[in-house]
Structures are given as structure tokens and as C-alpha cells.
């Protein structure tokens, strides 16, 4: 990728009724944020989708069209409530097919299990044939190795150059697989541009009153984002707004200097300054 072009954004799709019903708490988003941050990257968006084929297909169609790098967690098994593989194929407009590398890995796993249990592996047994469905991926997919139990995930790229990497919902499998995808496919993006977040506490502030200054800073410094985080009952600072900027280090520093100057020109009561990144 040319370094003249902006780096692609990272997205996350989390699949499963159990997340939306509250039966299970999502652990993927904070972990993906952590894995990206360790490499100087950040998560741009997250989408939660239940086990509903039309909604999941629409979410994946958007991901494939986005041009982003997207991780999709969950729903790639072979039980009736797993729809991710089918929806990915439909979103891409391709057929599903048994991936030869996935087939070999799944058969290797079944042989391992049979050996561990002191049994003879019977490849034509109905349950073993059913397990091969876990290797049925959209045509053109590439596999993602699973160090936990060898049952692979898969990756596909859409017409809009959105690359979606599909992993299981189980964190013990998903997280090493996501990390391996980052290490093997995207090292050229790591710490591509050091980023900075700088902010200041504005005591007794109201966001509406700060909006013109925020708009002015963003217009003057297009490489940064201005943010405001209001609080009405902070134990130390009481009612306040944390007002700041984030972006590439040099751009953020210049924008923050202008932000402080603008606040001081209004005699806004300022508190602690915060720096992250």
C-alpha cells in the first residue's frame, strides 16, 4: 500500500443472539482494541448483529463494501443457529464450497480426537461428515489457522476491497487468530503514524457553548478530531467538559495549542491537562 494513501480503518462485527440478549457479555471489543493499540492502530467501528440472516447479510455486505479491515467473531460453526458462512457467501454473491485446506485440517483434528479417545477414526461416519461443514466457506476464501483445535476460520475480500476475517466466537480461539491475522497480513500498518490525544478539563462548561470553537479547530486542522466528554457529577471536578483533540502527533499538538488559545481568550476556567498516546 502506498504511504500517500490513508491507512484503512479497522472494524469489528460481533455475531450472536446471546450477546444481544445479555446471556453472555461481549469480551471481543476490548480485546480487539487492546490488540490494535499494541500495534499503534485503533478500532473505528463495531457492529453487533443477532442470529438473523437478513440483518447479518446486510452487515457483511456493508463490511465488504467498506474498504476496511474487519474482524467478524461468531457464527461460523455447523449448528442450525450458525449463519455467518452462509451470509458471507450471499453478501459476496458466490457459492459455498468445502475448502480443501480446511477439509484436511478438520480431518486431522478428528483423527487426533479419535486417537486420544482410543477409537478408530471413521471418516464416513455421519457425525464426522457433518463436521466437514465447518470447512465450507465462500468460494475464493483463504483460511485462518486456529492454534487451539485446528478448525480454521476464513478471510474474504469484497468488491469494495473490504477484507473480512471470520473467527469463532470463543475468545480462546478468536483472539490468537485475530492476532495472527494482524501479524501476518498487516505489519506494514503497525505504528505507521504515532498518534496523540491531548485534552483539558473545562470547569462548569456546557458543550453547546464550546461547539463554535470545536468547529473552528477541526476546520483549521483537518488531520485531527476534536472531542468533548461532559460530566455533571465528577467526584473531583464536578460539572465539567473534557475538551480535546486526537490525531497524528504534530497535527494534534498544533491543534491543541490553538484550542487552548481559544479557551483562554474566553476566560474559560481550565483544570488539569491530559495527554494520551
pLDDT digits over 33-42, tens only?
Answer: 999 988 988 9
Strand partners, 242: 201, 229
| Distances, alpha carbon 132 to alpha carbons 97, 123, 252, 274, in Å | 11, 10, 51, 53
Residues 6+ apart with CB under 8 A from 129: 123
Q: Is the separation of the CB atoms in 47 and 73 below 8 Å?
A: no
CA distance 13 to 152: 18
Kindly report the pTM of this predicted structure. 0.79
- Which contacts (CB < 8 Å, 24+ apart) does range 234-237 have? 237/201, 237/203, 237/271
pLDDT at site 5: 53
Nearest Cα residue to 162 out of 12, 5, 3: 12
φ, ψ dihedrals at 225, nearest 5°: -115, 140
- Where the chain has pLDDT below 50, the residues are 1-4
φ, ψ dihedrals at 69, nearest 5°: -100, 120
DSSP letters of the chain? --TTSPPPPEEEEEE-HHHHHTSS---HHHHHHHHHHTTT--EEEEEEE-S-HHHHHHHHHHHHHS-SEEEEES--SSSTT--HHHHHHHHHT--EEE-HHHHHHHHHHHHHHHHHTT----TTSHHHHHHGGGGEEETT-EEE--TTTS--EEEEE-TT--EEEEE-S-HHHHHHHHHHHHHHH-GGGTTSS-EEEEEEEEET--HHHHHHHHHHHHHH-TTSEEEEEEEEEETTTEEEEEEEEEEEHHHHHHHHHHHHHHHHHTT--EEEEEEE-
pLDDT at site 4: 44
50-90 tens-digit pLDDT:
999 999 999 999 999 999 999 999 999 988 899 999 999 99
pLDDT at site 121: 86
Amino acid at each position: 500500500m502506498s504511504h500517500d494513501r490513508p491507512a484503512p480503518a479497522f472494524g469489528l462485527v460481533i455475531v450472536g443472539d446471546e450477546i444481544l440478549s445479555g446471556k453472555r457479555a461481549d469480551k471481543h471489543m476490548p480485546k480487539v482494541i487492546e490488540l490494535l493499540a499494541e500495534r499503534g492502530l485503533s478500532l473505528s467501528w463495531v457492529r453487533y448483529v443477532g442470529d438473523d440472516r437478513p440483518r447479518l447479510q446486510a452487515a457483511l455486505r456493508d463490511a465488504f463494501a467498506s474498504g476496511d479491515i474487519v474482524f467478524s467473531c461468531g457464527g461460523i460453526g455447523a449448528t442450525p443457529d450458525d449463519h455467518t458462512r452462509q451470509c458471507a457467501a450471499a453478501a459476496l454473491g458466490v457459492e459455498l464450497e468445502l475448502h480443501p485446506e480446511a477439509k484436511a485440517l478438520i480431518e486431522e483434528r478428528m483423527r487426533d480426537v479419535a486417537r486420544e479417545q482410543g477409537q478408530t477414526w471413521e471418516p464416513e461416519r455421519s457425525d464426522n461428515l457433518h463436521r466437514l461443514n465447518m470447512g465450507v466457506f465462500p468460494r475464493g476464501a483463504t483460511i485462518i489457522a486456529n492454534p487451539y483445535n485446528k478448525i480454521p476460520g476464513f478471510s474474504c475480500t469484497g468488491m469494495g476491497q473490504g477484507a473480512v476475517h471470520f473467527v469463532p466466537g470463543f475468545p480462546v480461539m478468536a483472539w490468537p487468530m485475530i492476532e495472527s491475522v494482524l501479524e501476518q497480513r498487516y505489519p506494514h500498518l503497525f505504528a505507521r503514524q504515532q498518534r496523540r490525544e491531548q485534552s483539558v478539563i473545562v470547569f462548569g462548561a456546557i458543550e453547546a457553548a464550546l461547539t463554535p470553537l470545536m468547529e473552528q479547530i477541526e476546520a483549521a486542522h483537518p488531520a485531527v478530531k476534536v472531542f468533548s466528554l461532559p460530566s455533571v457529577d465528577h467526584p473531583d471536578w464536578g460539572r465539567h467538559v473534557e475538551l480535546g483533540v486526537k490525531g497524528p502527533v504534530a497535527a494534534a499538538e498544533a491543534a491543541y495549542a490553538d484550542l487552548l488559545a481559544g479557551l483562554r481568550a474566553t476566560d474559560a476556567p481550565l483544570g488539569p491537562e491530559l495527554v494520551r498516546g
